[in-house]
Each structure stands twice: as structure tokens, then as C-alpha cells.
């Protein structure tokens, strides 16, 4: 059995036609619908959906914290809503996902940005007590991506989604390594979905200005999220690449966003695997979309990035990746980081 959203729709003007989706009796029967919007574009979104969603109650999600999600969850429970629609970027969608799971109701995700594969994943990444936690939640019941909004989103955030998708290729290598070296069970369907998502994107010569490209990017991010549902873990979309990302977030918070870091992590992991063809392909793709490749591109020194690589395995205990496999000493890490920078600094 394959869990999947009821509908998946990627196009311009999707937000304005939300009413049609919610009229689907599989989504809502009695019509008690709550809509959650972020602080930034809340008014604009509200005016767009008002004509088709007159009676829907609109809630503002303050930010991507556990507190904001818990408070929305309490509102949803009090109002006895049948479904909640989260409209916005990653933070709003994640907070709404968690709130929906607390209230025990399904959630419809309407993405206005494409910065990472969380739009359709079974997890919500939320801030609490200064740190970031990942919480298991049900996958959205339906997913819409509005390309009008994506075109207006900050370019760097949309490009970041490319890095997150491309990192799947590295994550799958790590999963296969864990399978061979540690006998870890591997899920062929999850691998195929996650890999297909990345392969669909990596060779494209157009970029985020094109609707065709954004459509594939959206599909790839959604497919990545679904691969995690199939696998029952983030394994098919998170390996050494994401361990590096988490280590950057821990050691040097605020350095860069999720997708940019995942892209650098993937390129560096392929470099460690000495997979020359793949590392060239990954670096070429990142460069083509103006994504960072070497630590200097995100303002980190070689020394700092070596610290990151040394800490990375500790960020996901139990996950076997190329980093755990090589068990490099600090001096070796410094050498490899130096070689990587010399090879790919522009």
C-alpha cells in the first residue's frame, strides 16, 4: 500500500482555486475549514482565497516555533474544524502540520515557496528552546503549489530547494553503504522515488525563472517527501550531506539555509567517495543555479568546515554514512577539505 496525497497540483493561480479542492468531499464534508497563513503574506493570501472560501476562518501563524504550532493546534481543537489548510513557506506549513496532528485533523498544504522537501514530508521541523527539532506528523492530505507565489519568493530560497533534492543522490549512496556494511534494511521503492526526483532535476539547463523547471522542482520535492513516508524515516533524503548541514546549524547557526547546506554536503560527500563523475555533475548543477559549493561561498573558513565535518556524525547517531564509514581523523579531514576547496573554488 502506498500512502499518497489525494491530489497534487502544481500551477499558477492555485491559491485562488483552493475552494474547489476543499469542495471535494474526500477533503471536507461539513465545510468547517480553517486556514493558517504566515505573518508575511497573510493579508494577500486572505484576499485571494476570500471569494471561494468565504466562511473559512483564517488564523495567523506567528513563526515556525513549537509554541506557535501548539497555540494553533489549541485553536483548531476548540473550533472543531474538519480540515486545516496551511498556506505559505516552510515555516508556516511545518507549524500547521504539527498543529493539525495535535488537533487530530488532516492538513492541506499550499506551498508558496520551494526551499526544501518538507512540503510533503511526514515531519515538521520546528524551533524550540533555541534549538530545532524534527517532529513526526501525518503527511498532508493534499498538496498545492502556487507558481505565482514561487516566482515572487526570494530567489535564493527557491534555488535552495534544488540543493535539497540533489542531496538525495548522496543520501541513497549512504543508505546502500549502510545496507552493505551494516545489514541495514533498504527500501527499493523509497530509493527509486528519491533518486528519480534528483535525476529529473540534475541535468536540466533551465532554472527557476521557467515554469517548466519550477514544476519539476516542485514534483521532485514532493516525491522526496513521499519517499520518506514510504521508508518510514528520512533515510532516502538525508545522509552524510544532512549530517554536515545539521553540524553547520549547531556550530555556526545562521550561516545558510537548509537546501544550500544540503547541496554543499552532497558535493563534499561525493568528493569523499572519490566518485569523480558524480561530484562534477553535482558541482556543475549547484554552480548552474548559483548555489554555494565551497565553504567560502557561505562564509566559512576551511578550518571551520573541517570542524563541521568532524562533528557531523554525532548529529545523527546510528545513521551510517560515508562520514562514519571513513572515520577520518582531524588531520585527514583538514586535508580532504583543503583538497575539495582547491578543486572547486571558483
Three cell numbers, residue 274: 572519490
Q: Segment 257-286, which members bind Zn ion (CB under 5 A)?
A: 262
Q: Which is nearer to Zn ion, 112 or 224 (CB)?
A: 224
> Half-sphere exposure of 154 toward its Cβ, with a 13 Å CA cutoff?
9
CA distances from 258 to 77, 114, 175, 306, 311 (A): 31, 11, 20, 19, 17
Radius of gyration over alpha carbons of the chain, in Å? 20
Distance of closest approach, residue 260 Cβ to Zn ion, in angstroms = 11
Distance of closest approach, residue 238 Cβ to Zn ion, in angstroms = 6
Q: Which is nearer to Zn ion, 263 or 313 (CB)?
A: 263
Residues in binding contact with Zn ion, number by CB under 5 A: 2
Of 38, 102, 44, which is closest to residue 70 (Cα–Cα)? 102
* Cα torsion through 290, 293, 296, 300, rounded to 10: 110
Q: Which stretch binds Zn ion (CB under 5 A): 66-74, 157-165, 176-184, 288-296?
A: 157-165
Distance of closest approach, residue 29 Cβ to Zn ion, in angstroms = 35
Q: Which is nearer to Zn ion, 34 or 248 (CB)?
A: 248
Q: Segment 80-139, which members bind Zn ion (CB under 5 A)?
A: none
Q: Which stretch binds Zn ion (CB under 5 A): 5-13, 123-131, 256-264, 299-307?
A: 256-264
Distance of closest approach, residue 125 Cβ to Zn ion, in angstroms = 9
Give the residue at shortest CB distance from Zn ion. Answer: 164
**Pair 311, 330: CB distance under 8 Å:** no
Per CB under 5 A, does 164 bind Zn ion? yes
- Sign of the dihedral defined by the CA atoms of residues 160, 166, 170, 175, in that order: positive
Distance of closest approach, residue 39 Cβ to Zn ion, in angstroms = 24
Residues contacting residue 207 through CB under 8 Å, at least 6 positions apart: 159, 213, 288, 289
Per CB under 5 A, does 146 bind Zn ion? no
Which residues form the interface with Zn ion (CB under 5 A)? 164, 262
Amino acid at each position: 500500500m502506498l500512502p499518497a496525497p489525494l491530489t497534487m497540483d502544481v500551477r499558477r493561480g492555485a491559491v485562488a482555486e483552493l475552494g474547489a479542492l476543499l469542495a471535494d468531499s474526500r477533503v471536507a464534508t461539513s465545510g468547517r475549514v480553517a486556514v493558517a497563513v504566515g505573518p508575511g503574506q497573510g493579508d494577500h493570501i486572505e484576499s485571494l482565497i476570500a471569494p471561494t472560501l468565504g466562511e473559512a476562518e483564517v488564523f495567523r501563524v506567528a513563526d515556525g516555533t513549537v509554541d506557535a504550532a501548539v497555540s494553533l493546534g489549541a485553536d483548531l481543537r476548540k473550533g472543531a474544524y474538519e480540515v486545516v489548510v496551511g498556506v505559505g513557506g516552510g515555516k508556516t506549513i511545518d507549524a500547521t502540520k504539527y498543529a493539525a496532528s495535535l488537533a487530530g485533523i488532516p492538513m492541506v498544504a499550499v506551498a508558496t515557496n520551494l526551499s526544501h522537501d518538507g512540503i510533503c514530508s511526514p515531519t515538521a521541523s520546528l524551533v524550540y528552546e533555541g534549538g530545532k527539532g524534527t517532529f513526526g506528523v501525518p503527511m498532508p492530505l493534499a498538496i498545492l503549489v502556487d507558481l505565482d507565489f514561487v516566482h515572487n519568493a526570494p530567489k535564493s530560497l527557491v534555488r535552495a530547494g534544488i540543493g535539497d533534492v540533489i542531496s538525495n543522490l548522496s543520501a541513497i549512496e549512504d543508505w546502500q553503504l549502510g545496507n552493505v556494511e551494516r545489514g541495514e534494511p533498504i527500501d527499493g521503492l523509497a530509493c527509486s522515488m528519491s533518486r528519480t526526483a534528483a535525476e529529473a532535476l540534475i541535468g536540466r539547463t533551465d532554472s527557476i525563472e521557467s515554469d517548466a523547471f519550477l514544476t519539476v522542482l516542485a514534483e521532485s520535492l514532493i516525491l522526496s517527501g513521499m519517499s520518506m513516508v514510504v521508508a518510514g524515516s528520512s533515510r532516502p533524503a538525508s545522509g552524510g550531506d544532512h549530517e554536515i548541514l545539521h553540524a553547520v546549524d549547531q556550530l555556526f547557526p545562521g550561516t545558510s539555509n537548509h537546501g544550500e547546506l544540503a547541496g554543499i554536503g552532497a558535493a563534499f560527500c561525493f568528493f569523499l567517495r572519490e566518485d569523480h563523475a558524480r561530484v562534477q555533475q553535482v558541482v556543475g548543477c549547484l554552480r548552474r543555479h548559483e548555489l554555494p559549493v565551497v565553504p567560502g561561498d557561505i562564509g566559512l573558513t576551511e578550518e571551520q568546515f573541517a570542524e563541521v565535518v568532524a562533528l557531523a556524525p554525532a548529529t545523527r547517531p546510528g545513521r551510517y554514512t560515508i562520514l562514519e564509514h571513513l572515520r577520518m581523523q582531524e588531520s585527514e579531514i583538514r586535508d580532504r577539505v583543503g583538497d575539495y576547496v582547491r578543486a572547486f573554488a571558483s
